[in-house]
Amino acid sequence: MNIARRTLFALGLPVVLVALWWVSTANSTSYYFPPLPDILDWFGRLWFSSRFADDVVPSMLRLLAGFALSAVLGVALGVALGLTDVLRRGAEPVLEFLRALPPTVLVPVIALVAGIGDGAKILVIVSGCVWPVLLNTVEGVRAADDVMVDTCRTYGITRGARLRHMVLPAAAPQIAAGLRQSLSIGLILMVIGEMFAATNGLGFSIVQFQRTFAIPQMWSGIILLGIIGFVLSALFTLVEKRALGWYLGLRESQKRNG
């Protein structure tokens, strides 16, 4: 019953919004807001065809590559900075300057340096995705229990063992929070990167539809982006619950006891 209730709450608002969209555009004559049935018709014709492999699959591969690279770089640099105060203080001004630069501003620069291939589009994703992972990792590592750190040192536990069994597990919840933020940012940057000097991809297709005034097709691409974002978020939640089951269970028990 509890599962059914949660499912109803999760699906209730989307169903209501789709129903309102359907009813409000049923007799629409607006060129820019066509009836939802027309958009859904084009959705099936476009994205259940060879166009899925030609545009959606390359976009997803770029997103996953950029996200994975951001995760590795963010966690590695975050652990190094979090464990070393001198290194963190020395790198902080440069990191703050780079973090303040909007990733969209870097798109033309990256295109000039790296060209217009997949590598450049992956770098665009990394330029924005790495920061939430890096900053959350630094804070998670620095927040490790001092008593536990001193205990590990007292018993002569090696730095590598401390990192694997104490520091990373303690920082894991904040690292996961950074990864979740990066995933949504990566989806946005994936589209932006494909709007500049691209020959395929979901962002490229949406821009082409807009430029040729294929409005129902454009809306179908936007809907597909929303569905992809929802599916990725749901998959991330499943992985997070599996990887951080110990932490989520502890937090739930604390809520019940509190």
Q: 250 pLDDT exceeds 70?
A: no
Q: What is the pLDDT of residue 142?
A: 86
pLDDT single digits (tens) 201-235: 999 999 999 999 999 999 999 999 999 999 999 99
As for how many domains the chain has, the answer is 1
Any domain includes 73: yes
Any domain includes 240: no
Any domain includes 250: no
Looking up residue 92, the CATH number of its domain turns out to be 1.10.3720.10
Q: What is the pLDDT of residue 167?
A: 83
Q: What is the pLDDT of residue 60?
A: 96
Of the listed ranges 11-25, 71-85, 152-166, the least confidently predicted one is 152-166
Instruction: Give the pLDDT band (50/70/90) at residue 245.
Output: confident
Q: 6 pLDDT exceeds 90?
A: no
Any domain includes 249: no
- Give percent above pLDDT 70 in the chain: 91
pLDDT single digits (tens) 234-244: 999 999 888 88
Q: 1 pLDDT exceeds 60?
A: no
Structural domain range at position 103: 53-204
Q: What is the pLDDT of residue 257?
A: 66
pLDDT single digits (tens) 138-181: 998 888 766 776 777 777 777 777 778 788 888 899 999 999 99
Closest to 38 (Cα-Cα) out of 25, 56, 49, 52: 25
